[in-house]
Structure 1
């Protein structure tokens, strides 16, 4: 799954339109009362723009504005620390709590789908790092509306450990290549424990790039950045998680690294390469063609 934006957040309160339900809280808003930190994105995102319409359901002064890229799966990822009772959302029952979000669109067509996936920020592959999928869609233009996300399914092949659900991924108009702009605010979801800086540190210490070319026939280049000196390992795994080879393994100083990796000895198929330093890791997918 492509990740276009990464947001690390600890939210303690809210001041805008949505009211949290039982066992829920506002996870993210942009009125200066939260502690969100945007550390990576592709496309455009502004987390404190003027509200385009303060006369309707959302009277907040500032909101987030996301400009979609023309890729099939643009993602906004929000991490929390241990969402309590998140498993109760994964139900079709009428009493199940719902994820909610305020959305405002202008040119995006009515009926634009927004998907919400819950998972674990420390597992960067799909489906392994995800637990459940929810969906909603827009019904109006040029006014704020409250979207309520309906449970779709548990992710086949995804994680089943509900004690470590700490990631929410939002996908705006998935499987399309539109470049529409979405304003969003006041995301409501499960309660979670106090935020720790572990997830932020993971992305500060290492930075793994997508290999090129991909798919690869003979060789491919893997680029990565080490932002804190330490022992670094770059390994290749097959689809069932078996380590095929160690591409790099040793002490690294701070800097940017390029590895020319020979794929001639691999059979055609999909592999995953993982960069790790200490307890932190990032994973990308590599496809081999013959």
Structure 2
């Protein structure tokens, strides 16, 4: 009988082998984190001092009791509805514009020249590179104070985000149904409507709902620059050091965000079934 061949020893991968890429990436990330901590003037001793704790406790104590008068609660509820409406309209406008821009920003199939892909993606990158707060500040000049500037700011930034996500979803869609329709002589628009869109529609809705959750939070921040909603109330009452009213506004923000998160989660769960 012949002896079984011994199992060859597995040598460690070479220093720059592709299996070592994850290790090198983790090491580089660790070095970056350490360098970030070393470069910042983080005064942890002041933050963790007893005086800082007393100041924070005194500041938090000023929030209680919150202002729960009927008149102010009504104002906070109306501002919440305004913030909610800003996020809904801004997200809907962005979803429509993003889907339109996603078509030229994607390559439908391997033979598609996609000549408008690069310039359209540049537009999408430019839209999402500018934060909502900066868009709102710029739009306040033309649209004036109020929710219009905030809604347009949300729509512009979110168009860049959703347009890129929609384009990636279109390019990653299974090519079989679309190729079958093209072989029967259907045009690009009908191929998209009857083959590609039904496949990517769950992703499109999921991305739009996720961005709606983010836009709720962004809409509250936009009010700080005068774009209406709860953020404007928060900025006003904090500026006057009316902490009881500020606490009511913060409670309204938390309740609204929690409600929207729950609704979005239930909707995505229903679509996944």
TM-score by length of 2: 0.19
- The structure with higher relative contact order (CA 8 Å, sep 6+) is 2
Higher share in strand: 1
Higher Cα Rg: structure 1 or 2? 2
TM-score by length of 1: 0.19
